[in-house]
Structure 1
Amino acid sequence: MEISARRTALLSSTALLLCTVLAGPAFAADGTPTPSPQAEDSVVNTGPPEEPEESIIDVPADAVDEEPTPTGNPQKPGDSPDSADCAPAHPVYIPSSKGKQYHKGVGPTNANHNGTSRQAQSTFTSEVTGKVGVSVSGELETSVNAMITTIKTKYSVTVSAELTAKLGNTISVPTPAHTTTNARYGVYRLKVTGTSYMLHQNCTTSPKHTVVSYSPLKVGWYLWES
């Protein structure tokens, strides 16, 4: 006998489609078990997503291509007769280390509690669309696009200036007995630490700054049990 319970909770920006199915495994005509379809990236974690350790600011979308105002006091040509020529003056960003992926949610977190003594299936569907851009900590001398291009080249990753988490994305995962499955839809961002400065035409530099960036890498769900 199969007992099904379905509950749909409509939230302000995200609708959760909640399905709990209490049933044994399905079998094909020859008696072999029929595998259930598994959602991509359906890894279930043991806790909520980590937050960035640094105090970060979001880079406005309309400022992604703009070069920041150079800082520091460049020397004039001729101040050092034997100085090298680095003209034209330009901003420099050098990535030094690649960190972990951090998930930034779009809309609220949803949850399904399985209060039964058997494993159940939880299905979550996103009905919200939101954009996630780059966030940085520190003084970035170059543009975000220039920084992203450098990160792509060094680490062979497909980071972007902005990604959109769209509505209608669904994921289905098993929920153990007496356990709550939590689901957050959004964008995974890659943490990278680097150095930024201005290189002047006589090859002197402005003070070098450590910059920690979080750049959009992929759209997806973050799941954890509690």
Structure 2
Amino acid sequence: MGVSVRRGPLASAIAFTALAVMAAPAHALATPVASVSASEEPTAVNTAPPVEPEETDLGPAPELEPLPGETGKPPVDRPDAEYCGPTQRIYTPSSKGAQYHAGVGPTNSNYNGTSRVARSTFTSEVTGEVGVSVTVGLSTSIDVMIAKIEAKYDVNLSAKLTAKLGNSIAVDTPPRKTTNAKYGVFRLKNTGTSYIIYSNCRTSAKKTVTSYTPLKVGWYLWES
């Protein structure tokens, strides 16, 4: 969209502002090529759309089943048998990754076809909930996993967060550029190890588990 007017300074400014903040309809995302570093401010204007997680076996938190044949007491028929206490479900975080944005609702875009910086305003159009996603192999509960990650990295996480209808953000759009905005939830990637220690001191196979846990609600912005 372009602006070509020959009026007084005040009239020109009003016409420019009214045209610049109009949001174009939502469109499909391009192929993601970059993610937001965990050390960067997530609301910064990026140069590419948000990256999708690479893992193919991500899913919701698994339902934990009772462990068969476990009393949590030392054996009485074999007093000399090795005993490690009640069965424990273990999760140990090992690597904190980047923040990944899970969008809720459509992507909105605004093209500034003028020669000046314009102010683009975007408003979320739906309400949606985003929860934890994990790969196969988690042997403990989501609450335990979150507590371990929070303690190790001094972060505040949630099992789920809600991105709500009506939230707005305003950002400058450079001349001849398009600002794209997607509302949703930033999730922290983490890798850890999960397994079970049985009362007889044996352990299950250790699994490397990747998780994406809600960190904060917000906008992911990028220019094109």
Q: TM-score with structure 2 length normalisation? A: 0.77
Q: 1:68 to 1:211 in 2, by over 3 A?
A: farther
Q: 1:79 to 1:103 in 2, by over 3 A?
A: farther
Distance, in Å, in 2 between the alignment partners of 1:146 and 1:7 is: 46
Distance, in Å, in 2 between the alignment partners of 1:192 and 1:7 is: 39
Structural mapping, 1:60-139, within 5 Å: 66-68=63-65, 81=80, 83=82, 85-139=83-137
- Unaligned 5+ segments in structure 1 are 12-39
Match of 2:223 among 212, 218, 225: 225
CA contact (8 A) 1:130 1:166 kept: yes
Distance, in Å, in 2 between the alignment partners of 1:108 and 1:172 is: 17
Distance, in Å, in 1 between the alignment partners of 2:209 and 2:48 is: 28
SS of the residue aligned with 2:215?
Answer: strand
In the alignment, what sits opposite 2:52? 51
Compute the displacement of 1:87 (Å): 2.1
Distance, in Å, in 2 between the alignment partners of 1:80 and 1:113 is: 77
Indicate whether 1:7 and 2:22 are aligned. yes
SS of the residue aligned with 1:157?
Answer: coil
SS of the residue aligned with 1:51?
Answer: coil
CA contact (8 A) 2:112 2:178 kept: yes
User: For each residue in 1:192-211, what CA deviation from the matched residue of structure 2 results, as whole angstroms up to 9, or x when unmatched?
Assistant: 00000011002210000000
Match of 2:191 among 190, 193, 199: 193
Q: Letter of the aligned partner of 1:141 in structure 2? A: S
- Unaligned 5+ segments in structure 2 are 1-8, 27-40, 69-73
Q: Letter of the aligned partner of 1:48 in structure 2? A: P
In the alignment, what sits opposite 1:183? 181
Compute the displacement of 1:80 (Å): 10
Q: 1:80 to 1:190 in 2, by over 3 A?
A: farther
In the alignment, what sits opposite 2:31? none
Distance, in Å, in 1 between the alignment partners of 2:180 and 2:168 is: 14
CA RMSD between the two structures:
2.4
Compute the displacement of 1:212 (Å): 0.2
SS of the residue aligned with 1:58?
Answer: coil
Distance, in Å, in 2 between the alignment partners of 1:106 and 1:115 is: 28
Compute the displacement of 1:159 (Å): 0.8
User: For each residue in 1:125-167, what CA deviation from the matched residue of structure 2 results, as whole angstroms up to 9, or x when unmatched?
Assistant: 1131100000011311011111111111111111110000011
Q: 1:70 to 1:208 in 2, by over 3 A?
A: farther
Distance, in Å, in 1 between the alignment partners of 2:111 and 2:25 is: 16
More helix by percentage: 2
SS of the residue aligned with 1:96?
Answer: strand
Q: Letter of the aligned partner of 1:58 in structure 2? A: G
